[in-house]
Structure 1
Amino acid sequence: MHQIEPYYSWLKYYNVADDPNSPYSGKEYNYELYSETIYGYYIDPAWDFMGSETLFIKILYVDYNRGFIIIEFIGEWNDALNNDIMHLKRNIVDHFNYHGINKYILVGENILNFHGSDDSYYEEWFDDMEDGWITAIGFRDFVVDEMKNYNVDSYINFGGDLEVLEWRTLKPVVLFERIHSIIGRRIGLI
């Protein structure tokens, strides 16, 4: 797991440590020291702790003018034991909602498993979005299936033409515009 790095090619557009509105503002990354682990396996030092021992994130891009954020994940999303959605909602989502973010793109290629619980935090997050939305790309099929078993798909948009496989080849704003257009058609805004 230590060889899985968060996507770094967008650092020229956005660096979470340089964003004064970010909860990681001013963070200094030591790429020589591997200290964080998931189930005893070291992970790359570029991943950020958000309150869960099994789920780490990297905020890849934030655009406060357009109100969107792109977050990449690594680990096991475990609502049953670690209440990961609570940590994500309280420590990251609530923080960025306060700064006007209401459109969330979650990148889950490195989510290895999902263990659900109730959907109350997802519902709360969805209710907080007002004119926004939450979408997930790159999640493995079995993870999406398990999320659907816990009704998470009622709050997070998955699949179909949202599955932008070539997201890394796009600039962050282009990825957002493509997903925003798709979501707009899905929910009748366009």
Structure 2
Amino acid sequence: MHDIEPHFGWRDRYRAEDDDASPFFGRQYSEFGFSNRVYNYLLHPQWDEFGAETLYLKLLFVDYDEGYAIIEFIGEWNDAVHNDIMHLKREFVDQLVGNGIKYFVLIMEGVLNFHGDEVDYYEEWNDEITDEGGWVALLNTHPQVDDELTQTRLDEYLHFGQHLNGLTWRPQKPHRVFEAVEGLIQTEVRRVY
């Protein structure tokens, strides 16, 4: 896992460490000092820790005018043992929501397992952004992660599933990724009603 880097294709457009509204403003990175790990596996030092023990992220892009953020994850999302959603919500999401972000694109290719528990923080996150028309979408989740998300009943608060899997997002510009996800979510909502 130490050689899996976060997506760097948009670094010329956005760097969280240079954004004074970002939770990672001022953070400095090493190319050689490996300290973060998922269990016994070291992670590339460009991934950001936010208080979770086995889950890391990279804030790839934020557009404050349009109100969206694109975030890539790696590791194991474990609410049952580590309460990862609490750390994510309090240490990361709250600051973005406070700065007007209401659309969240979570890239989940690097999340190999999800262990659900309570839904309180998901419900709170959903309540804060849906009044503004916002949403949280999970892209490219593994089947076992989809299954656990569904069993935990997170489909009430998050958009995920087959229609959001298989998206080729890396070669795209951030606004194209956002527009594509928004279109898929609007199609999903119309199908439900």
TM-score bucket of the superposed structures, by smaller chain: over 0.9
Given that 2:73 and 2:108 are in contact with CA atoms closer than 8 Å, whether structure 1 keeps it comes out as yes
Residue 186 (structure 1) shift: 2.7
Say if 2:5 is the partner of 1:5: yes
Q: Return the offset for 1:164.
A: 4.8
Name the amino acid aligned to 2:17.
A
**1:166 paired residue number:** 168
Q: 1:175: which partner in 2?
A: 177
Unaligned runs of 5+ in 2: none
* Residue identity in the other structure for 1:103: Y
- RMSD over aligned Cα atoms: 1.1
What is the rounded CA distance, in whole Å, between the counterparts of 1:92 and 1:81 in structure 2? 19
C-alpha distance in 2 between matches for 1:111 and 1:67: 25
Give the structure 1 partner of residue 64 of structure 2: 64
Provide the residue aligned with 2:102 in structure 1: 102
Q: Distance in 1 between matches of 2:136 and 2:173?
A: 19
Deviation (angstroms), 1:35: 1.1
Percent of aligned positions that are identical: 44
Please identify, of 178-187 and 54-63, the stretch whose mean Cα deviation from structure 2 is larger: 178-187
* 1:60-139 map, 5 Å: 60-129=60-129, 130=131, 131-139=133-141
* Range with greater deviation from structure 2 (160-169 or 44-53): 160-169
Q: Which runs of 4+ in 1 moved over 6 A?
A: none
- Distance in 2, matches of 1:177 and 1:165, equals 12
The whole-number CA distance in structure 1 between the counterparts of 2:7 and 2:93 is 20
Shift of residue 37, structure 1, vs aligned partner: 1.2
In 2, the alpha carbon distance for the partners of 1:45 and 1:68 equals 25
8 Å contact kept, 2:140–2:164? no
Structure 1: where are the runs of 5+ without partners? none
Q: How many equivalent residue pairs?
A: 188
1:70 is paired with a residue of what secondary structure? strand
Q: In the alignment, what sits opposite 1:148?
A: 150
Contact 2:31–2:46, Cα closer than 8 Å, also in 1: yes
Q: Quick one: which amino acid aligns to residue 136 of structure 2?
A: I
Q: Give the TM-score taking structure 2 as reference length.
A: 0.94
TM-score normalized with structure 1 length:
0.95
* Matched residue type, 1:66: E
Q: Distance in 2 between matches of 1:157 and 1:165?
A: 14
Distance 1:22 1:10 in 2: 16
Counterpart-to-counterpart distance in 2, 1:12 and 1:159: 31
CA deviation vs aligned residue, 1:160-183 (integer Å, no higher than 9, x gap): 432352111210001101111222
Counterpart residue type for residue 12 of structure 2: K
How far does the alpha carbon of each residue in 1:27-72 deviate from its partner, in whole angstroms, 9 at most, with x for none? 1111111111111211000000011111001000000000000111
Distance in 1 between residues matched to 2:2 and 2:127, nearest whole Å:
36
Which amino acid letter does the alignment assign opposite residue 75 of structure 1?
Answer: G
* Corresponding residue SS for 2:11: helix
